[in-house]
Amino acid sequence: MEKNKNLYGLNTFGMSAVADYYVRATSEDDVMRAIELSCEKKLPLLVLSGGSNMLIVEDLHAVVLHMDTRGIEVEGRDGSDTLVRVAAGEDWHETVMWSIENGYAGMENLAYIPGKVGSSPVQNIGAYGVEARCVIESVEVIDISSGERRVIAASECEFGYRESIFKNSARGRYVIMSVLFRLHSTEGYKLHLDYGNIRAELEKRGIENPTVADVADVVTFIRRSKLPEPSQVGNCGSFFKNPVISRQLYETLIEKHNDMPSYDVEGANDEHWKKIPAAYLIDRAGWKGYRRGCVGVHQNQALVLVHYGGGTGKDVLMLCQDICRDVKEKYGVEISPEVNIINSDFLARCAVGGKVE
């Protein structure tokens, strides 16, 4: 346990902020100790994994639990599928590579997403037409306020586009300890190639019959060429979610902006009709490449807010709020952050540790 720990270096935005208490957990006992500390100090417990989806806006009066538990284990088979349990602190990309090296399919489109395994269900990470929910069987958690263990089936996780119960009704309630994945046999497996430039890049390489390893390789290559590396410039990837708008608003907008891309929404009704790329709206509103002191909007990716160093979480948050306001004024569309804004409001919804027997 450390007191007054600066979290710089533990979040990919590269923000400096001090946590009252910090516990790095490499075992379940360490997690229990953090829950006990939270109970003793009457402070909320905040779980921090790779810090690649959080904007820390202020010093944190909290016990910060840094998940660093390890372990990948085959738990069993179900027909041609294999059930694999992965500890929350394992690196996500390394887990994807492990699955491929061991002959499993299902995770390849999710290669090179930063962060750890325990965070993958939180916002149901997704890329290139695949989401974590496609491979998650269940999530093993510890309830912070009681110390009890629970298994939450994927069907109870309420997975949606960058959503789950862990980001909504159960936000701050559990420590995710491990995730059980259902991985597929590569035999007869249908690869997901029709998203982004995957197929074009495979063709460029002369690959006619791609393997899961080829797909992961191509996805990694495309991501590296498109997204800024946090080691070069602070960022959390896409800062905003793509908004889903009503049929009426869509029809008004498309009349004026006939090049505006849109995607169908599963089970759409008139209220939630089309998904619009937030990047299009932010770019057309003139924000791409904009810089304000130490922070800005990436020059090639309108969705990515960046921190050049020496700024604060508040600087990024103010920029985010100005962009949201401007897009609303210009297009009538509400956009909202995908990134977790970590401040006292966020901590107010995090559980305080209960007495652990």
Instruction: Tell me the angle at which helices 212-226 and 92-101 cross, rounded to the nearest 10 degrees.
Output: 150
Rounded CA gap, 55 and 355, in Å?
Answer: 30
With binding defined as CB under 6 A, does residue 236 bind ligand FAD?
yes
Rounded CA gap, 329 and 221, in Å?
Answer: 37
CB closer to ligand FAD out of 71 and 76: 71
The 10 Å Cβ neighbour count of residue 259 is 7
Contact positions with ligand FAD (CB under 6 A) in 193-232: 227, 230
Among 31, 57, 67, 351, binds ligand FAD (CB under 6 A): 67
CB closer to ligand FAD out of 230 and 311: 230
Contacts of 219 (CB under 8 A, 6+ apart): 108, 109, 110, 111, 112, 127, 128, 198
Catalytic residue, chosen from 38, 49, 52, 238, is 238
Burial class (CB in 10 A: 0-12, 13-18, 19+), 96: buried
Among 5, 7, 12, 134, binds ligand FAD (CB under 6 A): 12
Catalytic residue, chosen from 162, 173, 182, 247, is 162
Taking the complex as a whole, the smallest distance from the CB of residue 279 to ligand FAD amounts, in Å, to: 13
| Contact pattern for ligand FAD over residues 290 through 309, marking x by CB under 6 A | --------------------
The 10 Å Cβ neighbour count of residue 20 is 16
Rounded CA gap, 240 and 318, in Å?
Answer: 14
With binding defined as CB under 6 A, does residue 142 bind ligand FAD?
no
With binding defined as CB under 6 A, does residue 337 bind ligand FAD?
no
DSSP string, 125-141: -EETTEEGGGTEEEEEE
Taking the complex as a whole, the smallest distance from the CB of residue 171 to ligand FAD amounts, in Å, to: 7
Closest residue to ligand FAD, based on beta-carbon distance: 115
The secondary structure of residue 55, as a DSSP letter, is E
Binding site for ligand FAD (CB under 6 A): 12, 46-54, 67, 88, 113-116, 118-120, 122-123, 125-127, 166, 174-176, 227, 230, 235-237, 340
Catalytic residues: 162, 238, 338
